[in-house]
Amino acid sequence: MRQSQVGRTFLFALQAGSPLVRSLFASLTLLVVAMAAPGAAAQKVQMSIDASKPGAKIDRNIFGQFAEHLGHGVYEGIWVGPTSKIPNTRGIRNDVVVALKALKVPDVRWPGGCFADEYHWRKGIGPQRAVTLNPNWGGVIEPNTFGTHEFMDFLDQIGAEAYLSVNVGSGTPQEAAEWLEYLTTAQPTTLAKDRAANGHHAPYKIAFLGIGNESWDCGGNMTPDSYLNQLKIYSRFVRNFNPNQQDKQQMLKIAVGPGGSESRWTEWTEAIMKAYQSHTWSWDMNGLSMHSYTVVKWPPSYASVGFGEMEYAQILKSTLEMNDLIAKHSAIMDKYDPQKKVALVVDEWGGWYAPLPGSTPGFLVQQNSLRDAILAALNLNIFAQHADRVRMANIAQMINVLQAMILTDREKMVLTPTYYVYKMYVPFQDATFVPVSFDPGTYTHGDIMLPRVDAIAAKDRAGKLWLAITNVDPNQPAEIEVGLASINTKSAAGETLTASKVDSVNTFDAPSMVVPKPVSAKAQDGKITLKLAPKSITVIAVEQ
């Protein structure tokens, strides 16, 4: 168990504890609530960081994104077409590209989601595009004007790698194999010549290949056994021919994994991992996907704006279940793959709320508040704490859909609070996890108890130490004292993200309600101290 999880685990042990423990805890809670009157002194939290005990690398791919053909995620969000009045480069919005470049997006998963299992790549190449339907998401017209080349161009413009989801549900291994040949071969095959005729002579690099999506549900409602049959065939025949990806930089294959914690999902993980353990040369996998949305209950009914402290606390309680979910599936994976060769890939996660009133329900349009920023930080911390197994994650979704980084409305664009968390966390990409020990204390609202603070630390490739601390408590500041064994600290400074209300949002008319502000900490005698605003996320660099 990681040290920064000790307090959290203790808290949940209490929640599930005996009636005596629970009533003692309830009395304590009342005391805490009584002490938490406005204007009360900041709660003190002591943290200690021992940078001489580094953990796993926090793979930059845990900051991955997901862009599905869904609502205005691709069309309008990324693609406006070359003849649009909205400034664009070959049809791709310039404003969005600039914003995404600042996030150093490592990879983008595309074209779905459920859409991927109905996607036929040939309809999205060449001068004449087939006009089809998108039955999953509103039954709207799919113009296929954003296809393979446009996606790869988009990646090139933002500097990200490709995570392609191939169609297992309604496609064939041959269709997927030919897509990969079209994309990656350097040999003068007919497909390579087609690729060149369509504007790209050199083979493309495909870093990740998703073999199906939610094959237990929208991807074909398969049993683990029937999916395994598909997985073996796709893994065998869907080859990457790029000469630069044969030895190093091999394409990583990601199998469909679980979608929750119930026995149905643990059985799925068991079945796939058991098969992996005895796999032969003819098939392989490098990742197991996991999907987990913060929704509390289906269908999504929580409002994304205009909510109060109770909904804030309920959503954050629900999102913290990610930790146990990862621990549960990691434990199964450890049984069959103790060397952790297979990554757990959380390639769909985020808050999923009720559609904004007046929006098309199938377009999954929601606002993005300070609560989402805190939700994002808590999940990124969880992924970092499991960095030895979780080596990739893709928030759903990048633009205009679910917990988005960016919202657009015709020529207008606004960056969400979640966007700013991703920006503040850039230094954690490929940094080395450093354990932080602390007692997080408790934030209580009604019968909900949450850790008051959460934190991760990491050393970047230049050796600089970074600390990210979230104050979950929406009412009280927190005074943090960080002891840094073996580090001669000169100063510490960074940025903090907060706002006046838990449901504060950025809008096209008021885009700066939730934006990071500079913050500096006091550094003295091997310690740094800083005061965190209520409901805030702070990232600081420690200068030595």
Residues that bind ligand AHR (CB under 6 A): 68, 112-114, 213-214, 218, 348, 396-397, 402
Q: Which position among 214, 262, 481, 543 bears the catalytic label?
A: 214
Question: Smaller CB distance to ligand AHR: residue 64 or 451?
Answer: 64
348 classed as catalytic: yes
User: In the complex, what is the shortest distance from the CB of residue 116 to ligand AHR, in angstroms, rounded to a whole number?
Assistant: 8
Strands 107-110 and 64-66: parallel
**DSSP per residue over 55-103, as a string?**
--B--GGGGEEE--SSTTSSBTTTB--TT-SS-EETTEEHHHHHHHHTT
**In the bound complex, which residue of the shown chain has the CB atom lying closest to ligand AHR?**
113
Which contiguous run of DSSP H or E holds residue 234? helix 224-237
479 classed as catalytic: no
What percent of the chain is helix, strand and coil (3-state, nearest 5)?
30, 25, 40
Are residues 458 and 540 in contact, defined by beta-carbon separation less than 8 angstroms? no
Question: Smaller CB distance to ligand AHR: residue 63 or 428?
Answer: 63
CA distance linking residue 211 with residue 166, whole number of Å: 6
User: In the complex, what is the shortest distance from the CB of residue 163 to ligand AHR, in angstroms, rounded to a whole number?
Assistant: 13
The three-state secondary structure class of 351 is strand
Are residues 304 and 318 in contact, defined by beta-carbon separation less than 8 angstroms? no
Quickly count: other Cβ atoms within 10 Å of residue 500's Cβ. 10
- Give the phi and the psi of residue 532 in degrees, each rounded to 5: -100, 135
Extended strands (E) in 226-340 = 252-255, 287-294
Tokens standing for residue 172: 């064939």
Question: Smaller CB distance to ligand AHR: residue 118 or 473?
Answer: 118
Question: Smaller CB distance to ligand AHR: residue 176 or 537?
Answer: 176
Closest C-alpha among 384, 530, 542, 383 to residue 463: 542
Judge residue 236's burial from the number of C-beta atoms within 10 Å of its C-beta, 0-12 exposed, 13-18 middle, 19 or more buried: middle
User: In the complex, what is the shortest distance from the CB of residue 356 to ligand AHR, in angstroms, rounded to a whole number?
Assistant: 16
**DSSP per residue over 526-539, as a string?**
TEEEEEEPSSEEEE
Extended strands (E) in 354-490 = 390-396, 406-409, 412-415, 432-434, 436-438, 442-445, 448-451, 453-459, 465-471, 478-485
CA distance linking residue 104 with residue 86, whole number of Å: 23
User: In the complex, what is the shortest distance from the CB of residue 137 to ligand AHR, in angstroms, rounded to a whole number?
Assistant: 8
Closest C-alpha among 282, 200, 299, 197 to residue 239: 282
Q: How far is CA 207 from the centre of its chain?
A: 17
Closest C-alpha among 504, 466, 512, 492 to residue 374: 504
Which contiguous run of DSSP H or E holds residue 166? strand 161-166
The per-type count for the chain, helices as H runs and strands as E runs, is 12, 26
Query: Known catalytic residues?
Result: 214, 348
